[in-house]
Each structure stands twice: as structure tokens, then as C-alpha cells.
Structure 1
């Protein structure tokens, strides 16, 4: 596959790794706007490293990425991102505090019959309602944010905007949509979330 060029970044994609699409571009654009030079940034579910690579190409930051998919980690590393393997925060051996955590989670409602074979399933499968991974993430993420730090979360209207906001509010976060666009049969949006410490 030919490398993807976007906003000063050049990213190669490997087989069995999620190919950047409208969701990736929207999150990358918002990240550039919201991240300042010198911030400590983590991309959860880094995939190919596309979003982190775009951030690094436009800001003086060195994002760290994690993913459960070993193929994705290899791809992101080849694209210049420092990575470690982790199922959400399970791979962090101690509390690490970040200014911004980026997350384009697996958000598609997925039945047992719709699951994909192999590692790529982890990029799409959000559970029956599409919110399983999001709920687990928000139960843990506040322990890894600096005071005043934020989460930039991508979701789709398929995930259930009100239900996602309910999850965040239950975990003590204030949230608002900072960007949205339409794509075929869904609305794509990025939400900025801050913990009410």
C-alpha cells in the first residue's frame, strides 16, 4: 500500500492494521489544534501511528502509542512512534501522567456473527452496543491524566452520543463536542473531556 501523506506526515500502512479514514483525519486535525508544544501525549489504540505521526509533524511533541495488536505496534514504530503493547492501561507498570490522551476506540456495535478474524477485530469491535471499550477506558483514564489534562475521544453517531456522554459524566468528566462531520450513514465527532477534579 502506498504511504499516506497528510499535513506534513508520511505514514506507511501494513496488512492487518487499520487504514486511516475519515475518523483518523478528523481526530488528527483536532489534535493539532488542541495540543501545544512540549505536552506529554499518549495515543491509546495507536494503530498505524497515523494520528501521532501527524501530531509529531506539526507540533514539538513526541507522542507515545499503545495497542493490543502487535502488527499495529510494528507499523507505528516504523512510522516513528515510540510504542508499547497494552490492553488499554494494563501495560503501564506505574502511573504515567499525560497532558492529552487521544483515543479512536473500537466503536462499532458488533454481534458475535460480525466479529472479524485476527487482530484487526480489535480496531472495530465495540461490543454489542459499541460502548464496551469506551466504558472501560473512562473507568481508568483519570488515573493517567495530569491535573487539567484532557482526553480527545472520537466517536460515531452509531455509538450513541447521549450514552457515551452518560458514561463520561458517571466517571466525573465534563465533555463537549469540538468537531463533527457527516460520512455516509453516520455522524463523526471528536469530544474533548476533562476530569472534574
Structure 2
């Protein structure tokens, strides 16, 4: 993939409920930020389908805020969209008090996410420029972790770039970032916390599910769709407890 080639138009429209969020992102993304696309929209659809589960398995059992962490937010569309969902669902349950965190290696993406959070009134939020979870020391703090990682199979050289290339260059099998990330998420996820991961067929989703189970997760595929040239998957991992 060439950084100078324009991104193709998404094959499908965004969810209708997220259109204002997507518009806010499109108005703020630059050439160095991955724009909302088909994988973004499918992830938003998965979160919308699971919103009751998200609230029940996370905040309803805790006396603290519901901590939502997105790793590699790009434009900020997914976290801002989840915030919109929680404004509706959270109104039904006073215990749902979300705190959003976003970590992105790309400084332009971190700035864009901050601007989108401000525009969409994601009030309780922190955006950090960093790599994966390396800047996060505490264990077991995140109730929801979301990641649309670099999943495109590429040469090693393409992974060493900066700017927008880090949003899609996934190295061998498109798995190099994913395989490093999953054990890190196992450390930071709270009991019964949920982890949502985007991947494509070339990443071997079934093997990723098995790897998640080996890390102690309950793991399943929640979305699978052909969108444009990619067969996209959303995998859900839940931190298992002794009573699960």
C-alpha cells in the first residue's frame, strides 16, 4: 500500500446512529490519520449489539467508573461512538460512569482523537501518545479494551514507518502487533472485562481465538462480514473468573 494513494471509499455506510460522530471525525482527520472506514463501522455495530453486556459485565459489578481503553484510536470514532451509546444505556443505570482512555503511537491521531472527544463532548477522557499498553503500568484496571490494530500483512520494513502507515502495517500474517498485544491486554483487563479486536481472514481468526483461550479468556467471534476486498471479523474476549 502506498501512502500517496487515496483511501478507498467504504463499501458500507456507517451505522445511522453514529453518523454525527463519523462526520465529526471526517472533519478533523488529516493525511496522517486513518479515517473511519468499513472496519470502524463493523466494530461500532458490534459494540452497539453488545451495549447491555458491556454495562452489565463491567460497571454494574464495580463501585468505580467504567474504564474504556482504546488502543490505536486513529480518528477517535470508535470511542466517541461508544460514548454516545453509553449516554443512552448509562441513563438507565446510574452505576455506568464511563472514563475513556485512548493510546496511539501516531501523534497526529492522538491530536485528532482529542479534538473529536472535545467536539462530541466525551468529557471524562485522557488521550496519550504511546505504543500499545507500554505507558500503562497498572494491572486489571480496564473494563473495556478496544483495538482495531494494524492487521494488513506487510514486509517488516513497512512496520518501521511513522504516521498513517503504522495504522495498517501488520508484518508477517498481519499478526505482529496483535500477537504482542494480546498478553498485554490480559494483564490490564479487569475481572469480567471485555476486549474487542478487529482482524481479517489472513490473520487466522480461529487461531487468535485459541490463543485468547490459552491466555484465560472466554473467546468468540461476534461479527464476520465481507466488506469491499476484506473479510472482516470482530472477536470478543472476556476475562474469565473462577465463577465463570
TM-score, length of structure 2 as denominator length: 0.72
Give the Cα separation in 2 of the matches to 1:115 and 1:68. Answer: 12
User: Of residues 31, 56, 68 in structure 1, which corresponds to 2:47?
Assistant: 31
Q: Which residue of 1 aligns with 2:144?
A: 100
For structure 1, which runs of at least 5 residues remain unmatched after alignment? none
Deviation at 1:114, TM superposition (A): 5.4
Superposed, 1:70-81 pairs within 5 Å as 70-80=107-117
User: Of residues 135, 139, 145 in structure 2, which corresponds to 1:91?
Assistant: 135
Q: Which of these two proteins has the greater Rg computed from alpha carbons?
A: 2
For structure 2, which runs of at least 5 residues remain unmatched after alignment? 1-13, 60-64, 88-97, 118-124
Say whether the 8 Å CA contact 2:140–2:191 is kept in structure 1. Answer: no
Give the Cα separation in 1 of the matches to 2:176 and 2:126. Answer: 27
Say whether the 8 Å CA contact 2:151–2:169 is kept in structure 1. Answer: yes
Deviation at 1:91, TM superposition (A): 0.9
TM-score, length of structure 1 as denominator length: 0.88
Say whether the 8 Å CA contact 2:31–2:164 is kept in structure 1. Answer: no
Say whether the 8 Å CA contact 2:158–2:165 is kept in structure 1. Answer: no
Deviation at 1:23, TM superposition (A): 0.2
Give the Cα separation in 2 of the matches to 1:20 and 1:179. Answer: 18
Give the Cα separation in 1 of the matches to 2:20 and 2:67. Answer: 20
Cα distance change of structure 1 residues 110 and 59 upon mapping to structure 2, 3 Å threshold: same
